[in-house]
Structure 1
């Protein structure tokens, strides 16, 4: 899908520095309704539009990327977005990046430095927004998986050391649920390893996309996270099976005891009948 720059945009001739913020607001953003509400949409997938001299890109998996907005514009934008956030988070994940703009640059990212681009064309900013959005989404997913690991590791260690199964099947099921939610966010919504649609028309921005992906280690982090999710899911399922097996064993023991008691009662009754 081609992104067309507004007619009022002019080529940057001097160096300019902008701040880009990627905010993970909630589980999802209703971008369809937001697109219908605005008449200044630059792009629809992802949804992009201008606010003043700034640029906003909204992703359906809950991320808003604000580029070059003033504090007042950011506040007003986030306030207007609140009613379109599905499953808002109590704590908003926030990542920032500096962008230097000059026609002397060739879309590069020096080590430890800002993102350097030659102009503020919407396609170029869309590529940057895509990387920033995936980075902030991965950051939250990594934290969620780490929390699950913090719970599962002691349980597995206790099982290996003492040979005892931990109690709490409901807790295990909750852990599996959290792991599945993160996996769903990665594969079904965030699509970390997918390239932004703008590259279909602007193949010249492939290098910028590759550099941003390398800078934020998007592919490597997604691979590691996926492996961790597999370990979490397998461990949780194994622990749940052990808990089920333990419960089945206790049930079998109880049945045997009931049979023994019934036999004893029968023998007792027969004995007393014989005595009489």
Structure 2
């Protein structure tokens, strides 16, 4: 490794152009957050908060605090649909996908851009750090008949019926509505887009991105969702079930907040894991030799990299707190907390902080090594000066002796 290369992080940190040469990235990126619910079946009920099936009305029943929401972990009848849904259904049900593509977005500029795209049926609304809008690439079906007055289902929803081999019917309501939730801290959550439409939307984002992530560092999280007439709204096995009549955009906004935080944490998890992996030989080297075989410049570069990592994570720590929207509309808080629980955000943040402590200890070790190296240098300078002084004194003595002998 040359003196100009970074000894630690080989990727741009949070998309920031690296001040030194960047070696090739290490393998494929992790697809989504490091959570157990991604690889094992888990059920989390989403509290019903709205009277008469209105998703955006005031809360009058159900759970009244985040603590109450956390008490609900299972419902015997609530697993039925989720257990019967599998990989074959993901191609049919609408997608919910989150992408972390940058450190942040120019959210106001993006809002103006979306508002100008009238052909996409847009009507953007800003909720603090989140921008919401319908965003459809599909041309409206001019031949479609208007829904009958007695049919309360919106025109963009339709019912799917699947009959299992045992004769059991599974009825699900799916939506063709495409909605986008853009979070200022660099995450976009797309509801109801096809995979091709998601990529098309992502190609429109770069002009609004700050500190864009490299392609292999983009974090992705994928769900599917549907509307159910039976049981309570829930998340099970990465299928989001919204109760019919309560699937308004504010409920989706609450869930999207948790998903966006989760996928942002996954970026921090990858950065910390990668840093620990590439620095794990340093403590072993100190244990075997008593010092780090690194130049002062490399040690300073390593310290700088570790500081950048800790600063970026700490500066973004506010995104892991409850959004301000939950204070303004407390009826959304239980749904947000239940989604956050399913995504295991609290446990992952705790583990992330423990790993940051390892980084902090390594940083302290390198600083001490740098201090010891400086002390050794000063001791060497003092020894050299003393040796020079002794040599000069010896020369003076020899010169005086020769001068006296000549007399």
1:175 to 305, 321, 346: 305
Q: Distance in 1 between matches of 2:371 and 2:225?
A: 55
Asked whether the 8 Å contact 2:223–2:238 carries over to 1, the reply is no
Q: Does 1:75 align with 2:199?
A: yes
Please state whether the residue corresponding to 2:322 is helix, strand or coil: coil
Bigger drift between 114-123 and 31-40 goes to 31-40
Bigger drift between 242-251 and 130-139 goes to 242-251
2:357 to 230, 241, 262: 230
Bigger-Rg structure (1/2): 2
1:133 offset after TM fit, Å?
0.8
Please state whether the residue corresponding to 1:262 is helix, strand or coil: helix
1:54 to 153, 157, 178: 178
Q: Does 1:123 align with 2:250?
A: yes
Q: Distance in 2 between matches of 1:260 and 1:247?
A: 20
Let me know the Cα RMSD of the aligned residues. Answer: 2.3
Counterpart residue number, 2:127: 44
Counterpart residue number, 1:184: 314
Instruction: Tell which has more relative contact order, 1 or 2 (C-alpha 8 A, sep 6+).
Output: 2
1:146 to 253, 273, 276: 273
Bigger drift between 123-132 and 63-72 goes to 63-72
Counterpart residue number, 2:49: none
Please state whether the residue corresponding to 1:17 is helix, strand or coil: coil
Q: Can you list the C-alpha shifts for 1:86-144, whole angstroms capped at 9, x where unaligned?
A: 1111122111111122243422123x251111143111110121111111111110010
Q: Distance in 2 between matches of 1:151 and 1:178?
A: 16
Counterpart residue number, 1:13: none
Counterpart residue number, 1:32: 108
Asked whether the 8 Å contact 2:96–2:191 carries over to 1, the reply is yes
How many residue pairs get matched? 259
2:228 to 102, 109, 113: 102
Q: Can you list the C-alpha shifts for 1:3-37, whole angstroms capped at 9, x where unaligned?
A: x97xxxxxxxxxx9321111111111111222233
**Structure 1 pair 252–62 and aligned structure 2 pair: CA distance change class (3 A):** same
Please state whether the residue corresponding to 2:132 is helix, strand or coil: strand
Asked whether the 8 Å contact 1:128–1:212 carries over to 2, the reply is yes
**Structure 1 pair 166–203 and aligned structure 2 pair: CA distance change class (3 A):** same
1:161 offset after TM fit, Å?
3.3
Q: Does 1:20 align with 2:96?
A: yes
Please state whether the residue corresponding to 2:280 is helix, strand or coil: helix
Counterpart residue number, 1:9: none
Q: Does 1:155 align with 2:231?
A: no
Asked whether the 8 Å contact 1:166–1:243 carries over to 2, the reply is no
Bigger drift between 34-43 and 92-101 goes to 34-43
